[in-house]
Amino acid sequence: MSVVCHYYHYSKLDILWTVGKPHKNYLFTTKVKKPIQEENKYHEVKKCLIAISGLLHDIGKMTDYFQYKIRQKEVLSDPLRHEWLSVALLSQNYDTVNSLIDDMIRGSVVISQIKDNISITTKDPVLKVINYLILTHHKKPDVLASGELMKSISSFDMLYDNIQCEMGWINTEKLNELNKCNFSNKIDLGREWCKMASKWSTRFKKCKHLLEDLSEEHLISLVTECRTALMLGDAKYSSLVTNTASEHSVIANKRDSEYNQTLQDHLVGVTKTALRAFDIIHKKYKKPSSHIQFFDNKTTGKYKWQNQINKIPEDLDGAFMINITSTGYGKTISNLKMLNRFGNLSCINALGMKSLVKQTFEDIKALAKVDSNDLAYVTGDTENMFIQEEFNKSLSSVIPDNNIHS
């Protein structure tokens, strides 16, 4: 009898691991299927969220007051910041993310007068994610201004529901001018904006269901990654001199007191730049610096079975692996090779004998060519004190005020 784990991907069926020795012509007596959500699916969700929020992030600059103040020589502050107004426009014109996506697929978005420019309430969880990305593309809520409110937050949904404009988006000295912060400008967002809106909304419609099954930790991580890319895209493109704006344009920003970018140009440019930033981030951190080339090398003889590790898909997400082989066939090194396959060598090995601990320590130290800054071992005897002291000394050159306790 044996247990065999298959992984079906890219129209291929691979054996990941076995317990026992399967016969050549084995038959399945019991089958259990478990779908694995691959990282590339969430990669698509992230890119769609960045694109949609990027295309909408500054529509609050269409307001009468913003267009008035950007044409003045002196610097004026807003009664209500454009990020908040962008979200207010969306949340009051769209009850669900589906209605927003459907409009964007057609290459449009509702831009009209809103009843309450300080309300961003919505019940749609996906629309909350898009709204939050837009709302925080310059800054997060001011927790100090919220008093005790934010201390009881336990979920992303609760966080969004408790955000108030007093947390950094409203100027209390200009409350009498809030009525000027509304949308009477009717503009054509442009052919390129419509094309991008249709493209990314169509793609998002196919994958947005993946957001429904995310844990709180995964959702927060996803939102943080998307927000980082959007902020980088906005900062980078805003710094460029494009000179596309004029007196008769809907202006997004100025450079050296001169009109610089039209809103249409800015929305499209920031979106493209944010998507590039996301790709760079994803590519840069796919393989951390802990990746050690040695562990990619092929082995021969009784260790050649370790070469099968390089056939494990690198994008495998949430895998459970069992490493079974006879004593002396290199399980410890193969475990490190598996970790190295996914670009992460941060691990702890718990071994049963002191002699085995020392032997493993020396093997890894020699093979991976690392020193005490990256590797240490602890055993349950007095010798441990000396090892820990030496380990602390090696760290003291990196951490001046060392406070490591054994």
Task: Give the model's pLDDT for residue 325.
Answer: 77
> Is the pLDDT confidence value at 307 over 90?
no
> Is the pLDDT confidence value at 405 over 50?
no
Task: Answer with the residue of higher pLDDT: 19 or 180.
Answer: 180
Angle between helices 191-207 and 97-105 (to 10 degrees): 140
Of 45-54, 195-204, 338-347, minimum mean pLDDT range: 338-347
Q: Is residue 385 part of a domain?
A: no
Task: Give the model's pLDDT for residue 6.
Answer: 66
Task: Give the model's pLDDT for residue 311.
Answer: 76
Q: In sequence order, what are the residues at sequence separation of 6 or more whose Cβ sits closer than 8 angstroms to the Cβ of residue 312?
A: 16, 319, 338, 341
| Percent of residues, the chain, with pLDDT higher than 70 | 73
Distance, CA of 261 to CA of 244 (rounded, Å): 5
Half-sphere exposure of 209 (CA within 13 A, CB side): 3
> Is the pLDDT confidence value at 194 over 90?
yes
Q: Is residue 153 part of a domain?
A: yes
> Is the pLDDT confidence value at 279 over 60?
yes
Q: Is residue 142 part of a domain?
A: yes
Q: Is residue 366 part of a domain?
A: no
Its sign, for the CA torsion 190, 195, 198, 199, is: negative
Task: Give the model's pLDDT for residue 294.
Answer: 65
The answer to whether the beta carbons of residues 141 and 168 sit under 8 Å apart is yes
> Is the pLDDT confidence value at 171 over 70?
yes
The answer to whether the beta carbons of residues 244 and 251 sit under 8 Å apart is no
Q: Is residue 303 part of a domain?
A: no
> Is the pLDDT confidence value at 37 over 50?
no
Q: How many domains, in total, are found in the chain?
A: 1
Q: pLDDT band for position 191 (50/70/90)?
A: very high
Of 2-11, 181-190, 298-307, 345-354, minimum mean pLDDT range: 2-11
Q: pLDDT band for position 104 (50/70/90)?
A: very high
> Is the pLDDT confidence value at 10 over 70?
no
Task: Give the model's pLDDT for residue 348.
Answer: 67
Q: pLDDT band for position 149 (50/70/90)?
A: low
Q: Is residue 121 part of a domain?
A: yes
**Secondary structure tally for the chain: helices H, strands E:** 12, 4
Q: Is residue 45 part of a domain?
A: yes
> Is the pLDDT confidence value at 105 over 60?
yes
Distance, CA of 43 to CA of 49 (rounded, Å): 10
| 336-342-343 Cα angle (round to 5) | 80
> Is the pLDDT confidence value at 48 over 80?
yes
Would the pTM of this model clear 0.75, i.e. be above it? no
Task: Give the model's pLDDT for residue 386.
Answer: 42
DSSP state of 259: E
Strand partners, 170: 80
> Is the pLDDT confidence value at 397 over 90?
no
Domain span at residue 95 reads: 39-286
Q: Is residue 364 part of a domain?
A: no
> Is the pLDDT confidence value at 63 over 80?
yes
Task: Give the model's pLDDT for residue 144.
Answer: 56
